[in-house]
Structure 1
Amino acid sequence: MKLIEDLNWRYATKRMTGETVPEEKLQNILEAIRLSASSMGFMPYNVLVIQDPEVRKKIQAAAYNQPQIVEASHLLIFAAWATLTDEQVDAYMNQIAQERGVDVSTLAGFADSLKGTINSRTAEENFQWAAKQSYIALGTGLVAAAAERVDATPMEGFDPAALDKVLGLAEKGLRSITIMALGYRDTEKDFLATAKKVRRSKKDLFLEIA
């Protein structure tokens, strides 16, 4: 299975060459992220795509000066919606109605269910739920990058408040969750480039319930 081969090839790349990821490969990765699974299909997050070297230098300062930030071709910043509202749900219902060619009134039950779920939780609980949804998209992006033979590094090592300030995320109603650096491994500088992948065995990981 090629996917297994791709996943064995990928690792969290620590040093990159600065080589630019071809536009077609980048767009394939972004489309895979767009098609990622999400609870109720709601997708309460945005993904910022950043290539500008000067912006990435500012981000690096908020990310403990990790080299991938500036050595990568692109950075993807996964940012969850800070607040969830009925208006966002209504916009989602209108999109469904338009794309599926149905009357939005037929989605009233679905809309009420989603609104009820959101309104039954605190703002922070909703944010944490949105953050979890963005991690699903991150995982999809990592797999897609591997399939394109593009190195990808998921990164939580940054100061969210500082990154939010650099990117003006509060004004956009967003809070940063994680970073994915896209690029190509520098095999001379990255000590992990030739290291054997280590994962828990199937026996230890999977528990079969009879």
Structure 2
Amino acid sequence: MTYNTIEKLQWRYATKRFDPNKILSKEQIDILKQAFNLTATSFGLQPLKLVVVSNAELKKQLMKASFNQPQVRDASHLLILCIEEKIDHNFIIDHFRRVEDTRNTPREILEPFEKNLIASFTEKDSDEIRDWMVNQLYLTLGALLTVCAVEKIDSCPMEGFEPEKYDMFLGLDKMGLKSVIVMPVGYRDESDFFKNLKKVRRGVDELTIDFD
């Protein structure tokens, strides 16, 4: 089983050309949504949203705000990973309400943690909170890339786009969201030059340190 996982990670690469005629199933997209939801985040706050675009015309328009990179247009779906515009005390209170409802945890146990977390975020400036949210987003990106590999879904994480144009075009700014990463997903095109290239990595021995 472990070796099979490594094989799948070897199979994965940042796909540059997608086959526009191959579409992911609803079940496959649901797996990615569930993986996004289940990924660990600090304090379990999940200051994130996942936007899923399958509309062909929308993808064409977003390609213009992605420096005309064709994978945005040709992929089956375009995933847009966003952070919340702000985290305030109401956001934190809502989280602890979910904890209370889901786990039936007594309020007297949760309240001290809730107050401490609100106090901690109150002390941070907006840049600190934004950096923290972006860090949480990259955790979910790593999880999604791994799940894509396991499920044999091709993907291409991209920072090469214009977030402000995405936010305005999709109305994300009106939803209190800011796009950070886009990730086309689908099936590789057989003409993609990169699909047969060997991975270039520093190697396990160089990247890991053991204390036995």
Structure 1 and Structure 2 fold alike (TM over 0.5) = yes
| C-alpha deviation, 1:117, in angstroms | 2.2
In the alignment, structure 1 residue 138 sits paired with structure 2 residue 141: yes
Describe the superposition over 1:87-127 as per-residue Cα deviations: whole angstroms up to 9, x where unpaired: 00010010110011223342112212221221111112101
In the alignment, structure 1 residue 175 sits paired with structure 2 residue 178: yes
The answer for the alignment partner of 1:97 in structure 2 is 100
What CA distance in whole angstroms lies between the structure 2 residues aligned with 1:90 and 1:30? 24
Q: How many pairs are equivalent? A: 209
CA contact (8 A) 1:93 1:104 kept: no
Unaligned runs of 5+ in 1: none
| Partner AA of 2:88 in structure 1 | T
The answer for the alignment partner of 2:72 in structure 1 is 69
In the alignment, structure 1 residue 50 sits paired with structure 2 residue 53: yes
Q: Which runs of at least 4 in structure 1 moved beyond 3 Å after TM superposition?
A: 207-210
Q: How does 1:147-166 map to 2 (within 5 A)?
A: 147-166=150-169
The answer for the alignment partner of 2:17 in structure 1 is 15
TM-score (norm 2): 0.94
What CA distance in whole angstroms lies between the structure 2 residues aligned with 1:177 and 1:158? 9
What CA distance in whole angstroms lies between the structure 2 residues aligned with 1:55 and 1:147? 28
What CA distance in whole angstroms lies between the structure 1 residues aligned with 2:184 and 2:5? 21
What CA distance in whole angstroms lies between the structure 2 residues aligned with 1:59 and 1:22? 22
In the alignment, structure 1 residue 34 sits paired with structure 2 residue 37: yes
The answer for the alignment partner of 2:109 in structure 1 is 106
| Partner AA of 1:123 in structure 2 | S
| Partner AA of 1:159 in structure 2 | E
| Partner AA of 1:17 in structure 2 | D
Q: Percent identity?
A: 34
In the alignment, structure 1 residue 119 sits paired with structure 2 residue 122: yes
| Partner AA of 1:199 in structure 2 | R
| C-alpha deviation, 1:29, in angstroms | 1.8
Q: 1:80 aligns with which of 70, 83, 87?
A: 83
Q: How does 1:190-209 map to 2 (within 5 A)?
A: 190-208=192-210
